Chain A
Amino acid sequence: MADLSLDTSGVTASPRGRRVRGYWANVWNRLRYDYVTLFFLTLIILIILTVIFAPWLAPLDPNKSSMAYRLKPVFYKQFMLGTDEQGRDILSRLIYGGRTSLMMGILPVVFATMIGGFFGVLAGYAGGKLNMVIMRSMDVFFAFPSVLLAVAISGSLGGGLINQLITLTVVLTPPLCRVAETSTSQIRSMDFVDAARASGASTLSIIFRHVLINVVSPVFVYASTLISASILLASGLSFLGLGVSPPTPDWGLMLSTLRQSIYVQPLVCALPGVAILITSIAFNLVSDGLRQAMDVKA
């Protein structure tokens, strides 16, 4: 058989051959030159570090009120970003408030990804009746607008950190389940899954080796877009009084209480909104960059 080497004949091999590079190394390689994504990724890391080290970074006590300094403008004495209606330092409250807001952005998405991903992959791979039971149950949640659903659940559970976490997880699970189910059933119908079955592999082995590896990137990307939505939703709930209870600082709650003073100190009152805006834009742009970097054919 003389022609066996035909395919390689025109190709020059590099002397060291090709280094086996993992998938994530390839993703990083593409991400490295995406400066917008890198900038906002850095910004997110900075925000996270800031809220983690809040006790050291916050200039003043966020809960210390003082009637003498109510609603002061930006750069008033020691209050760099002014004060709120109880004379508390806005900058310190923003730094501490980021703790609740970021936690409400990230934790529900993590939980929802685990729960929704599990049921989505199960439904997508099993198909048939199980798929119908799982997906139709998810459709029940889809029937409500997400804000309305969140308000309804939050209203019945009551306020507080844990209840808000549960509410947001419940609201975010169905869309993640849908994404996981769709990409799983797409992968399920590809020939390489049949080829894996034909090689005698068990279902679990096929799911872990062949299905999850292909499902993880669309789910991951979608989950990262939900972080900003979750932050906004959490702020909305706090704004309505269904989130954390005062005096705990929280961006949504701050926006809500400062709302009445918008004509007195417009700039100061807008600051919590600006914090929400910057954070959610950063998460959105990073997830967009990740989507491009994780596209295997890019």
Chain B
Amino acid sequence: MSTATTTERRFQTVPPGDPNDRGGKAQPMLIVENLRKYFPIHAGALNRRVAEVKAVDGVSFAVLKGETLGIVGESGCGKSTLARLLMHLLPKDAGDLIFDGETVGPGSTLSLKDLRRNLQMVFQDSYSSLNPRLPVEESIAYGPRVHGASRSQAKKTARELLDKVGLRPDLFGARYPHELSGGQKQRVNIARALALNPRMLILDEAVSALDKSVEAQVLNLLGYLKRHFNLTYLFISHDLHVVQYISDRVLVMYLGQIVEIGPVDAIYNRPKHPYTRALLNSRLSMNPNERVETAPLVGDPPNPINPPSGCRFRTRCPHAEAVCETRMPSLGRSTDRAAHLAACHMEDPASGHSLAGPPATSLPPVQIRQ
């Protein structure tokens, strides 16, 4: 996992013959526009809505075809809520989701069932995400059965996929989840997600519960499957090293909002947002001489029920000024895969922040602002 790898080499494009491609090469696989989800908090004898947790608050980004977009952030920043919103497992409060040029739902060209055939998810908890009372090959075959495959056809698909994820079907197919190890269960989960032949996978902390050696195996497996099935990944993790290893682009979240997005090398080598810098400084180094002596950031994230005004990071930011309290910094918009954007007043010369200068020429690529 060295920082020297270049992003360009790992970019992939949709092969010209992909029969499922609808929008063309340049159309992002998934566009998220101003997505918002507030969870109400009810209290009192009348069960009134007294407050709301702003779990995902105005998030916009695009996932490009064939890329792996990593999402990082602290616990509770809205990563998993975002994943469930994208899967339509939670109803969204506001915003748009456009999958390969089509919106989802009634009145649009793409039904929810079609979306779910194209977009699948691997859950974090490999134990609770498999039905304890079904043999694993039946868990995998369930999706194809729902979409009209015959029993034998679904079973054949399941056994092929077990083989693809490195589990011998004759040995593992008939087993129950409690007869498998954590890594094996997660392989089954990946196979289950692939059973509908999706074009995009959301991996919500898919390797976080595994020990390091198994984690490496599963990451290699994910790389292999991505090439084999032409997949697009949305990889959610709190492990910065893993995200750096697997991602083409990285999106950093803080308190339900995006603070920075850009190519993995740009983010890891030249982070723009103070939060990203602090996050990266908190990584553990393999070199004991480079140990972190002081905490890069103090305090806890503010309460998402009542987030700070203006910039949400200002309460912990070493560079916070008056402007940060009054105005919320905006993240620019760009579907260019090389764009490196940060939601920080210091990046905007017009913001009035004392440290904001003209965009430094030494920091390519040039920011694209709306």
Interface of A toward B, CB cutoff 8 Å: 1, 3-8, 11, 13, 17-21, 23, 190-192, 194-202, 205, 209-210, 213-214, 296-297
Contact = CB atoms under 8 A, between A and B. Distances in A.
Contact of A8 (B123, B135, B168): B168
A196 B193 CA distance: 10
A198 B87 contact: yes
Interface centre among A21, A190, A192 (most CB of B within 10 A): A192
A8 B133 contact: no
A3 to B, nearest CB: 5
A8 B142 CA distance: 24
A192 B128 contact: yes
Nearest to A202: B146
B217 A209 contact: no
A210 B175 contact: no
Interface stretch (B9-17, B91-99, B113-121, B231-239): B113-121
B220 interface: yes
A170 B87 CA distance: 43
Given A5-B166, A200-B196, 13 more contacts: A3-B166, A4-B220, A4-B224, A7-B217, A23-B133, A192-B130, A194-B87, A198-B87, A199-B142, A200-B146, A209-B142, A213-B131, A213-B133
Given A195-B123, A199-B143, A209-B142, A1 B220 contact: yes
Given A194-B123, A199-B196, A200-B143, A7 B89 contact: no
Nearest to B122: A195
Interface centre among A195, A196, A296 (most CB of B within 10 A): A195
A297 B116 contact: no
B147 interface: yes
A3 B166 CA distance: 8
B157 to A, nearest CB: 13
Given A8-B167, A199-B120, A200-B143, A192 B131 contact: yes
Contacts of B121: 195, 198
Given A6-B217, A192-B130, A296-B132, A18 B174 contact: yes
B167 A7 contact: yes
Contacts of A205: 146
Given A3-B217, A5-B166, A198-B116, A191 B187 contact: no
Given A4-B224, A7-B183, A201-B146, A296 B178 contact: yes
Nearest to B114: A200
Nearest to B113: A200
Contacts of B87: 194, 198
B166 A8 contact: yes
A191 B128 contact: yes
A1 B224 contact: yes
Nearest to A213: B133
Contacts of B139: 192
A196 B220 CA distance: 26
B220 A20 contact: no
7 contacts: A7-B217, A17-B170, A21-B174, A191-B128, A195-B121, A195-B129, A198-B89
B255 to A, nearest CB: 24
Contact of A200 (B112, B128, B173, B220): B112
Q: Which 5 A-B pairs have the closest CB atoms?
A: A191-B129, A199-B143, A1-B224, A17-B170, A4-B166
Contact of A199 (B146, B165, B178, B184): B146
B41 interface: no
Interface string B81-115: 00010010100000000000000000000001100
A202 B87 CA distance: 15
A192 B129 contact: yes
Contacts of A194: 84, 87, 89, 123, 129
Contact of B116 (A13, A192, A199): A199
A200 B167 contact: no
A200 B284 CA distance: 41
A17 B170 CA distance: 5
B130 A18 contact: no
Contacts of A196: 142
A251 B187 CA distance: 58
A146 to B, nearest CB: 30
Contacts of B51: none
Contact of B171 (A8, A195, A197): A8
Contacts of A198: 87, 89, 116, 120-121
Contacts of A4: 165-166, 220-221, 224
